[in-house]
Every structure is written in structure tokens, then in C-alpha cells.
Amino acid sequence: MRARVVHTASWAAGFRPAWRHLRSRWLISLRLVAAAFLAATTAANAQSDSPATPPYAAINRKAINYAGPGRETARDLPGPEIKLGLLVPLQGPRKAQGEALRAAAQMALEDEAANPLPGGRRLALVVRDETGLWGRASSEIVRLVFDDRVVALLTSPEGTAAHLAEQVGNRVGVPVLTLASDSTTTQINIPWLFRIVPNDAAQARAFATNIYRERALQKVLLMVEANHDGRVGREEFEKAARRLQAPLPDCLEIALPIADVDSLLSEIRARGPQAIVLWTGAETAAQLLEGIGQLPSPPAIYVCQKALQEPFLRVVEQALGRNIWLATSRPGAPAATRQDFAARFQARTGTAPSAAATQVYDAVRLVASSLRQSGPNRARLRDSLAKVADFPGVSGTISFDGAGNNQAAVALAPLK
């Protein structure tokens, strides 16, 4: 039997015309796809800037769910304690913030001790330090999940910590409750993250509505830190201004650490704003507020949730009545309950509770309440948290949508 011989050169020569034809058709198709994508993107941008045009697509927040495994009793966490992980800064300039969050979380544990969890178990707090680069926080999150075997994670107001916890939580199946207002954490259909605070988009809308519509101010200065949270805040406020067809604000990006506060204040004077929006951390907001208060005609000041901690709160005590505003959820717990918490926190720490302290207190009590329905199981706890509606927290009402956003109504309130 004669072997069949294929002459490579002649075969390739015969294939070239067909390949050129296929390649030409493929390039044409690629160009058409690219043109269609460009047209769709342009239309989407135009629609997002126009308040009258609905978006071409939207995520159904009620449809986001977890349909995977993990709810079976065999996956329950063992032991007499159900551990709750808390990731906060315990070193450096934000140490006081972290200690305040730990104190508030411990108060919540003590308040919940009178009402035991299923099987007589008790809720315990495991605290780890987020201070340092991303690698440090990532390692601490992994230790909480795999070594400490926590049933859920609580993270600080830092957006970077929330993103890291979200990545681990989604891969392993661990609920994450965050104090970070970063809107992007719940825009990617992950069913494991729950935000206690109003997100950046809700805060930006409240600020922009008051500034541009209710007060009819035009000269607005937006001051943001040169980091992830600052960039997200800037995008959301500018988006809110476009929807109101208002002029975009001047934007001043602040490199950290601040080398020369006087230069920043000179820049503020030169721009002469009628309103200043501070989308910064507490340290930066504290430095700026002291100087802004010395201006001949201090503008209205709008402060994001992230800044409402020490040392900003100490500076605010000297600046009350200076037209300072924040976005907050509508009241949840009765006034007497809120006042009792504030008094007990002051007695324990020597300082008034920050917004974040009230929020972490609510987060711990919310987890305890949900555990009484789910038991020590991460997936079932996620299901229970997803059903939370009108929880009466000391920080305000908490109601989660399918994506984990706190959808309670947001209002503007004077800081006092």
C-alpha cells in the first residue's frame, strides 16, 4: 500500500487564497463589532448625562441572589462560639478610629449577650489590623476566614478594605458587611456584600440637589483625595451634577500626606467657592476645616460619611453653626435609644461616637439578629441578611436591596 504524501508547499499555496478571504471577512466583522460597540457606548454616555433619557440597560437589583451550595447542616461552623471578624486600623494615624470601632462592636456584643444564639452559642469578636499595604490587609482577611473561621466579616469605612474582603468573600462564600460608601462594590452582581451606610451615589445626589436646586449655587469646589475613594466620590458627584444639568464643580485633588495646608487654603481663596464638598478621610477634612473656617465668608461645607470620625469630630466641635452638612439615613431607633448608646459610648471611651461607631454597632446587632434565624452557617446567614428590611439602627434605618445596598431614604442634615 502506497503512503500518501502531502506536498506542504503546494498545499499552503492552495490555502492562501482561502485564508485571505476568511481573514478579510473576519476583519470586516471585527470592524462592524467595534463600530457597534462605539455607537452603543456613545449612546450610553449621552443617556447617562441626560436626566430625561432612561438607560439602555439596567441591573435588576432584586434578582441578584446566591444559588450555590453551603446551606446544608454539614457546613455549619462548629464550636460553642460563633466568631465575627472585624477588620479595622489599629496602628498609625487611624488607630483612634479603629479603637472606636472595636469599642462599639464590643458594646453590641454585650448588649446581645442577654439574648443567646441557637444552641446556647455565644457571639465572639475577632479583631485584625488592616493597617499597611494591600498585602497586609489581604493576609488578615484570609486569616479571619480560614484560621479564625468567622461566620462573617465587618470592614471599616476604607473602600480598599471592602474590595479585598469582597473578593475573598465571593470566592469562599462569606458575608461581608462594610462601612465603606464606595458605590462600585455593589455594581458587579456579587451577592455576599452588604453596605450599612448610604453609598457614594446617594450622598452625591443629596449634596448636588441641595447645592444646585435648593440653594441655586453655581461656584462649587469639590476636594478629593488622590486615592480610590476620592476618585469614586468625584465620579459620583460629577454624575449627579450632570443629571441636574448643572455646571461641573471645580475639582482639587489632594496628594497625601498634605505637605502644605496653607497652599491649599490659598487655592480655595483664589477660587472663591460658594460651596465646598469634602470627599476625603477624617485627617484631611480636619486639616481643611480649621483653615476654611478662617475665610472671610466661609462657604457651605458638605462632608462625606468617610470623614465623620476622629480627628475631624474634634475640629467640628469648634466649628458648630458654620453651615456644615452631611447625608444620612432616616432615623431608625427611637431617640431615647440613640441617646442611651451615645451616653454609654462616651462613658466607655471618653469621646462621642462617630458615624462609623454607630454603624459598626448596628452591623454587629444585625448579624446577631440574623444568626438567630440562620444558625452558624455562612450561606444561610447571607440569605437572612438579604431579607433585612427597616432594621431600626442607631445609625439610621437599614434595608438591603438584592445587591446589598442600604436603600433606606437619604436626607441632608446639619452637622451638630
Helices then strands, each counted (H, E), the chain: 12, 13
* 138 burial level (CB within 10 Å; 0-12, 13-18, 19+): middle
Q: Tell me what the mean pLDDT of segment 5-23 comes to.
A: 42
Q: What is the Cα 387 distance to its own chain's centre?
A: 20
Supply the pLDDT for residue 54: 54
Residues 270-299: tens digit of each pLDDT: 999 999 999 999 999 999 988 887 777 789
Under the banding of pLDDT at 50, 70 and 90, the label for residue 44 is: very low
CATH number of the domain at 201-328, please? 3.40.50.2300
Would you list the DSSP string of 258-269? Answer: -S-HHHHHHHHH
Q: Tell me what the mean pLDDT of segment 395-413 comes to.
A: 89
Under the banding of pLDDT at 50, 70 and 90, the label for residue 3 is: very low
Going by their DSSP bridges, the two strands 324-329 and 300-303 should be labelled as: parallel
Supply the pLDDT for residue 38: 35
Q: Could you tell me if 266 and 295 are in contact, meaning their C-beta atoms sit under 8 angstroms apart?
A: no
pLDDT at 98 over 80: yes
Q: Which amino acid is at 195?
A: R
Going by their DSSP bridges, the two strands 193-195 and 176-178 should be labelled as: parallel
**CATH class (in words) of the domain with range 76-199+332-408:** alpha beta
32-36, 126-130, 195-199, 258-262: segment of lowest average pLDDT: 32-36
Q: What is the Cα 57 distance to its own chain's centre?
A: 23
pLDDT at 20 over 80: no
Ranges of CATH 3.40.50.2300 domains, the chain: 76-199+332-408, 201-328
Neighbours of 413 (CB within 10 A): 14
With the C-alpha atoms ordered 57, 60, 63, 64, is the resulting torsion angle positive or negative? positive
